[in-house]
């Protein structure tokens, strides 16, 4: 029987196996030459650059957060009057929140007389606030809350990998306030002086205490 016809001869089968093995070796060499080995837990392995919250905040604070809060700030007395009258309508008109269960955050501006400091909060007497409402400005060293992150409507959870990154972004934005707004403020000399502020606050469960996180703080005589 002609070896080309019917069942292949042992020589033909051996040659086919050698060709196949050589092709596999060539393919493996090509893959190895273009493959970068990374640790399975690294950011590169997950297809993204590691998130640096401090760098993120330093970029966003001056370029987006401060301009948005300054542009959208409402006089605090006007804003609070509308919130007290109709919280839902005021939130939809002036506020921002990330999710229907989250409280609204607002941009606001105001002027008053500085009072005493309690912990990290400076009381400010502002004429025209709703009855029973007290206003304080965060003056550090610790700056708390998510008002800056949430008050612009420009920073949302879906821009981050997880809740940790989202929270760290808020923390570092607050740290920008410490560096750029409060570093040169002599807290011990504020009592009795005129205070003008632009900032953000979250209208949460304690509706009788408005806590401003400032992006601008001017101290008069």
Q: Domains of the chain, with CATH numbers? A: 53-219 (2.40.50.420)
Quote the CA–CA distance of 157 and 99 in Å, as a whole number: 9
pLDDT at 219 over 80: yes
Q: Distance (Å, rounded) from C-alpha 50 to C-alpha 65?
A: 22
Confidence bin at 14 (pLDDT 50/70/90): low
Rounded to a whole number of angstroms, the distance between the first and last alpha carbons of the chain is: 113
Q: How confident is the model at residue 41 (pLDDT cuts 50, 70, 90)?
A: very low
Task: Name the pLDDT band for 101 (thresholds 50, 70, 90).
Answer: confident
Distance CA 92, CA 157 (A): 19
**Does this model's pTM top 0.85?**
no
Q: Percentage of the chain with pLDDT > 90?
A: 74
Q: In which region does residue 106 sit, left (phi positive, over 0), alpha (psi from -120 to 50) or beta (all else)?
A: beta
At 82, which helix (H) or strand (E)? helix 76-85
CA distance 201 to 145: 9
Q: CB-based burial of residue 1 (10 Å sphere; 0-12 exposed, 13-18 middle, 19+ buried)?
A: exposed
Helix or strand run (H / E) with residue 212: strand 209-219
Does pLDDT of 120 surpass 70?
Answer: yes
Please name which of 128, 139, 84 lies closest in space to residue 106, comparing C-alpha atoms.
84
The reported pLDDT for the residue numbered 16 is 53
Query: Residue 80: its pLDDT value, please?
Result: 97
Instruction: Kindly state the tokens that stand for 44.
Output: 């590169």
| Cis peptide bond upstream of 141, omega within 30 | yes
The mean predicted confidence, pLDDT, of the chain is 85
Beta carbons within 10 angstroms of residue 104's beta carbon? 21
Collapsing DSSP to helix, strand or coil, 149 comes out as: helix
Whether the pLDDT of residue 32 is over 80: the answer is no
């Amino acid at each position: 029987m002609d070896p080309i016809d019917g069942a292949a001869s042992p020589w033909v089968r051996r040659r086919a196996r050698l060709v196949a093995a050589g092709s596999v070796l060539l393919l493996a060499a090509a893959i190895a030459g273009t493959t970068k080995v990374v640790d399975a837990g690294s950011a590169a392995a997950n297809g993204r650059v590691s998130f640096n919250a401090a760098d993120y905040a330093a970029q966003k604070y001056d370029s987006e957060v401060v301009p948005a809060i300054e542009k959208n700030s409402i006089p605090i007395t006007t804003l609070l009057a509308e919130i007290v009258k109709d919280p839902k309508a005021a939130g939809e008109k002036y506020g921002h929140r990330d999710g229907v269960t989250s409280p609204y955050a607002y941009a606001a501006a105001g002027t008053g007389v500085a009072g005493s400091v309690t912990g990290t909060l400076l009381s400010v007497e502002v004429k025209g606030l709703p009855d029973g409402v007290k206003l304080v400005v965060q003056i550090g060293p610790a700056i708390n809350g998510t008002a800056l992150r949430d008050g612009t409507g420009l920073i949302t959870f879906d821009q981050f990998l997880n809740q940790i990154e989202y929270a760290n972004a808020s923390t570092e934005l607050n740290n920008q306030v410490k560096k750029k707004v409060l570093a040169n403020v002599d807290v011990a000399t504020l009592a009795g002086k005129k205070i003008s502020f632009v900032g953000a606050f979250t209208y949460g469960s304690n509706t009788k205490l408005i806590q401003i996180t400032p992006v601008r703080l001017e101290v008069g005589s």
